[in-house]
Structure 1
């Protein structure tokens, strides 16, 4: 008797929810996306716990669309039924290794669409940078400029970016990224998950 095919889950940070939905059936056909709240990035132990919970069921394959965002990510990716896309974080996944590391060396701080919409929650709530002078000092000491990674699914949020510029007293550059690298990483990860490479 033929065994039923294993279900494949693409488990992703919600920072890529719209982007993964935009990839369409050519990439995502036959797999089920599962999204975990991007705020778990601020609490790596909770992200660890959520991913470990999903990993317990060995009767399905998982592709993790994450960077190295929690303590057990490397261990999870070595399990026989789990694969992970390449990249140390979401910006690396979108931009590619060389472009990401070059921009990091230049001191760029990145904003992705989902976190741009939640920037006050991230900086004021999660990072505790409620005081504008302290937030500016933090950003100016650590970074040379700000960059919004425009995945092309919606018009860049110019009003929100203007608020970010005013809060940090730094201009925000808009860099179009498209979805090609994310698409390629997920397609390659699914091939590895299904044992084709």
Structure 2
């Protein structure tokens, strides 16, 4: 990067955009953002189109992609754009850290962040239809509870989370987390990109 280069661009899923903006402000990172609708995770074709389009639109910028392994062709898309993604299986692992994420997953958690809680019925029915019996069978087949994960940037989404639990027939647990793990993931990605561009 030269002194006159535009700031780095963090391009990716909007599920944690409040948290990311907070961390950019806190750390004074020279980082622009471009967020894609988190609900696209339920449609691989739309996710692929949105991501490749955003990468093409920002061709020539130094881009870090904020996604986990959220699409089966993620690495190929990034390779074509000569960039990389943040480390982590998904945004929840980036937020919780691998150890806590793995523990909750093994206990049967289905993770629920604020943005998805607020749009849960729309997301679930767009994916699985409106047959409540089918929806509940799918979620209850290998998950034991919904885990509503809140951060210092979250609003109070308890009512939406409880409604999400009722819809899929799973009990709700809540977990408050700091932004320490997410901050570490972003710092590592920024350092890597800065090294590549220096």
Q: TM-score, normalised by structure 1?
A: 0.87
Name 1:74's counterpart in structure 2. Answer: 75
SS at match of 1:146: strand
Seen in structure 2, the aligned counterparts of structure 1 residues 153 and 174 have a Cα distance that, compared at 3 Å, is same
Contact 2:145–2:170 (Cα < 8 Å) also in 1: yes
Seen in structure 2, the aligned counterparts of structure 1 residues 152 and 81 have a Cα distance that, compared at 3 Å, is same
Contact 1:7–1:59 (Cα < 8 Å) also in 2: no
Name 2:31's counterpart in structure 1. Answer: 31
Inter-partner Cα distance in structure 2 for 1:28 and 1:137: 46
Inter-partner Cα distance in structure 1 for 2:32 and 2:195: 18
Structure 1 gaps, min length 5: none
SS at match of 2:136: helix
Seen in structure 2, the aligned counterparts of structure 1 residues 122 and 182 have a Cα distance that, compared at 3 Å, is same
Name 2:136's counterpart in structure 1. Answer: 136
Contact 1:58–1:81 (Cα < 8 Å) also in 2: no
Q: Which moved more, 1:155-164 or 1:49-58?
A: 49-58
Q: String of CA shifts for 1:109-132, please: whole Å, max 9, x gaps.
A: 11011001010111122332x222
Inter-partner Cα distance in structure 2 for 1:41 and 1:190: 24
Query: Residue 185 in 1 paired to residue 180 in 2?
Result: no
Q: String of CA shifts for 1:19-60, please: whole Å, max 9, x gaps.
A: 112214343532110000112211222222332233345421
Inter-partner Cα distance in structure 2 for 1:95 and 1:43: 25
Inter-partner Cα distance in structure 2 for 1:80 and 1:192: 16
Inter-partner Cα distance in structure 2 for 1:49 and 1:28: 31
Seen in structure 2, the aligned counterparts of structure 1 residues 132 and 80 have a Cα distance that, compared at 3 Å, is closer
Q: TM-score, normalised by structure 2?
A: 0.86
Q: String of CA shifts for 1:70-105, please: whole Å, max 9, x gaps.
A: 233213444685231111111111111222122212
Inter-partner Cα distance in structure 2 for 1:51 and 1:80: 10
Say how many residue pairs are matched.
195
Name 1:48's counterpart in structure 2. Answer: 48
Query: Residue 63 in 1 paired to residue 91 in 2?
Result: no
